[in-house]
């Protein structure tokens, strides 16, 4: 009977055991690689900073292949070039680009005198969209490695194995090239050829990286578009009135500077207040958009520099009417002299002189510079009774609306016009409320819509009090008021000196309109004096007092917050 059982051969057993072990090691390696790939993929998609993302791509790809060096090129469509984004090399202790030292090496052209540049390995990779695996660049044919060799001769390095991978985005477009240099054996550390089995995985990593870069570029592109759009709207609003030109731009700048000052103070009342980059961006956007509602405010109200101004200053019509009254008076006087055959006397001219005085009075009242007294109101009422005849119709010196405007007690605006101006905040809230802001900017309508609220509840549109006004909105309110106070020109008054503006700001703090800690900080930190130095006309830059201390634009500022 034949013996069917195989004779046990220890050599075969050992061989089988080794094969099983090798397969297990390979499988374990692959599993580790896949796990690593998943981890990298997650990390790449979670990174929000482009520089850090690019660095991560190169260091992770190097870690994955145990490569000594790595270079990441980004393709520039417009210029047909590959720009150096990241260069890393362990042996030479090089880490350039990204968050580190800027790379000043010239980019690699994808075209040379109109012809595709296939002599450079990275350009070739981008052009043909294929992976290139070179065991030793010194023996490689078809590519020009003179630059690499020159680099080696100056650094003493030896570039050998190279893996060049195109980075494809979701539309299979090449957006960059990843070049890995000198793969090292994990045990011996010797430079080896990049193993074929790793290529598929590293290609997959390059793809994930490309998608992460593209996603970030799209987000950045949208953010840039939104920011540019916001700035152009703000410019359009600033352009509406020569009196408020630059207001929004200045408020945005001041807001950012106040935030910076708070971040820097880091002690006392502001020790626990920190703004992360998203919060800063949110407040910046709120500052840019705070007066967007002014888009609907008629220019004649915003720019109303005199009481009788509409699209023109109606005082001119009043001047003509006075001239008619004077002419009528003169005709009466001359008629009387003619009828009675007597000479004209000084007394007879009194009526015309009186009319000149009335005109001078009305012109001064029209300016709205001072508070209107009861006596002046009474006088205007008297003047309303004057009229002249025009084609058989009686025309009053002042019609009802002109009289009402001239009787404005303070400034140049009627209550209705003040209401129209104030309404810009409600329009701001309404307009911004309709925009689908991303989550990190969702407070923009809220902050922007509160820039005229006052801590004591006397602001508008909601009359919010104290804690109901978030800290970010208080910053905006301080920036808005400070800018408006120190602005060189307003419709009915010239600019103020710094000390006058600061005195008014001080009253606003005392009256409980503004956050006093915040105002103290902007003064004591030197922000006010620095800003005044940069922005105010020389005649405005005088010394001012704040909490019993004198501050000078010229003087040194001690930064102290408690």
Contact 236, 295 (CB under 8 A): yes
Q: Judged by CB, which is closer to Fe ion: 92, or 421?
A: 421
Q: Judged by CB, which is closer to Fe ion: 155, or 458?
A: 458
Q: Judged by CB, which is closer to Fe ion: 174, or 485?
A: 485
Residue 159 and residue 152: Cα distance in Å, rounded? 7
CB atoms within 10 A of CB 95: 17
Half-sphere exposure of 270 (CA within 13 A, CB side): 26
Nearest distance from residue 451's CB to Fe ion, in Å?
A: 6
Nearest distance from residue 253's CB to Fe ion, in Å?
A: 13
- Look up residue 68 and give its two tokens: 């000594």
**What is the 3 state secondary structure string of 466-490?**
HHHCCHHHHHHHHHHHHHHHHCCEE
CA angle at 324 for the pair 320 and 325, rounded to the nearest 5°: 115
Nearest distance from residue 490's CB to Fe ion, in Å?
A: 12
Q: Tokens 């005849």 sit at which residue?
A: 389
Q: Judged by CB, which is closer to Fe ion: 480, or 524?
A: 480
Nearest distance from residue 235's CB to Fe ion, in Å?
A: 14
Question: Which distant-in-sequence residues (6+ apart) come within 8 Å of 429 by Cβ?
Answer: 293, 445, 448, 449, 461
Nearest distance from residue 553's CB to Fe ion, in Å?
A: 24
DSSP label of 53: H
Q: Judged by CB, which is closer to Fe ion: 476, or 536?
A: 476
Nearest distance from residue 420's CB to Fe ion, in Å?
A: 13
- Look up residue 483 and give its two tokens: 């800018």
Question: Which distant-in-sequence residues (6+ apart) come within 8 Å of 422 by Cβ?
Answer: 452, 460, 461
φ, ψ for residue 175 (rounded to 5)? -110, -10
Question: Which distant-in-sequence residues (6+ apart) come within 8 Å of 544 by Cβ?
Answer: 498, 499, 502, 503, 550, 551
Nearest distance from residue 93's CB to Fe ion, in Å?
A: 52
Q: Judged by CB, which is closer to Fe ion: 309, or 480?
A: 480
Of 111, 134, 140, nearest to 123 (Cα)?
111
Alpha helix (H) residue ranges in 47-171: 50-65, 121-128, 146-155
Nearest distance from residue 448's CB to Fe ion, in Å?
A: 9
Q: Judged by CB, which is closer to Fe ion: 395, or 420?
A: 420
Q: Judged by CB, which is closer to Fe ion: 77, or 239?
A: 239
Q: Judged by CB, which is closer to Fe ion: 60, or 253?
A: 253
Nearest distance from residue 486's CB to Fe ion, in Å?
A: 13
Residue numbers at the binding site for Fe ion (CB under 5 A): 291, 480
Q: Judged by CB, which is closer to Fe ion: 359, or 478?
A: 478
Contact 161, 182 (CB under 8 A): yes
Of 65, 72, 82, nearest to 126 (Cα)?
82
Contact 480, 294 (CB under 8 A): no
Contact 97, 105 (CB under 8 A): no
Nearest distance from residue 224's CB to Fe ion, in Å?
A: 25
């Amino acid at each position: 009977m034949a013996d069917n059982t195989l004779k046990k051969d220890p050599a075969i057993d050992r061989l089988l055991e080794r094969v099983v072990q090798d397969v297990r090691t390979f499988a374990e390696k692959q599993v580790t690689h896949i796990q690593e790939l998943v981890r990298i993929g997650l990390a790449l998609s979670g990174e929000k900073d482009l520089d850090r993302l690019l660095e991560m791509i190169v260091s992770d790809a190097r870690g994955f292949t145990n490569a000594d060096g790595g270079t990441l090129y980004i393709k520039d469509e417009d210029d047909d070039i590959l720009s150096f984004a990241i260069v890393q090399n362990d042996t030479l202790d090089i880490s350039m680009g990204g968050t580190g030292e800027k790379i000043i090496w010239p980019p690699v052209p994808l075209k040379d005198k109109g012809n595709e540049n296939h002599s450079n390995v990275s350009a070739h990779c981008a052009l043909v969209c294929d992976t290139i695996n070179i065991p030793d660049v010194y023996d490689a044919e078809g590519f020009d490695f003179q630059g690499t060799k020159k680099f080696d001769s100056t650094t003493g390095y030896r570039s050998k194995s190279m893996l060049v991978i195109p980075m494809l985005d979701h539309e299979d477009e090449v957006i960059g090239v990843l070049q890995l240099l000198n793969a090292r054996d994990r045990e011996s550390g010797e430079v080896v050829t990049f193993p074929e089995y790793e290529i598929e995985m590293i290609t997959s990593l390059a793809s994930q990286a490309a998608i992460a870069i593209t996603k970030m570029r799209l987000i950045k592109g949208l953010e840039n578009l939104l920011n540019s759009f916001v700035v152009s709207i703000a410019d359009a609003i600033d352009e509406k009135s020569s009196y408020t030109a630059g207001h929004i731009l200045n408020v945005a700048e001041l807001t950012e500077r106040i935030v910076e000052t708070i971040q820097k103070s880091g002690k006392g009342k502001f020790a626990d207040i920190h703004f992360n980059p998203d919060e800063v961006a949110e407040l910046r956007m709120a500052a840019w958009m705070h007066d967007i509602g002014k888009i609907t405010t008629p220019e004649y109200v915003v720019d109303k520099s005199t009481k009788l101004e509409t699209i023109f200053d109606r005082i001119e019509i009043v001047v003509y009417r006075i001239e008619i009254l004077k002419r009528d008076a003169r005709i009466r006087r001359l008629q009387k002299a003619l009828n009675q055959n007597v000479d004209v006397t000084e007394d007879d001219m009194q009526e015309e002189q009186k009319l000149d005085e009335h005109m001078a009075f009305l012109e001064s009242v029209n300016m709205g510079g001072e508070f209107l007294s009861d006596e002046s109101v009474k006088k205007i009422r008297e003047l309303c009774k004057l009229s002249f005849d025009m084609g058989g119709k009686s025309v009053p010196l002042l019609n009802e609306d002109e009289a009402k405007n001239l009787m404005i007690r303070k400034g140049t605006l009627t209550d209705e016009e003040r209401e129209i101006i104030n309404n810009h905040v409600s329009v701001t809230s309404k307009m911004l409320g309709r925009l689908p802001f991303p989550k990190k900017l969702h407070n923009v309508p809220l902050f922007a819509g509160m820039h005229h609220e006052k801590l004591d509840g006397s602001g508008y549109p909601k009359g919010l009090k104290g804690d109901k006004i978030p800290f970010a909105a208080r910053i905006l309110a301080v920036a808005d008021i400070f800018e408006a106070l120190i602005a060189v020109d307003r419709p009915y008054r010239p600019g103020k000196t710094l000390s006058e503006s600061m005195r008014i700001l001080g009253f606003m703090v005392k009256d409980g309109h503004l956050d006093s800690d915040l105002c103290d900080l902007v003064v004591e930190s030197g922000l006010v004096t620095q800003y005044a130095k940069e922005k105010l006309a020389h005649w405005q830059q005088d010394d001012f007092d704040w909490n019993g201390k004198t501050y000078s634009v010229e003087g040194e500022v001690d930064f102290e917050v408690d």
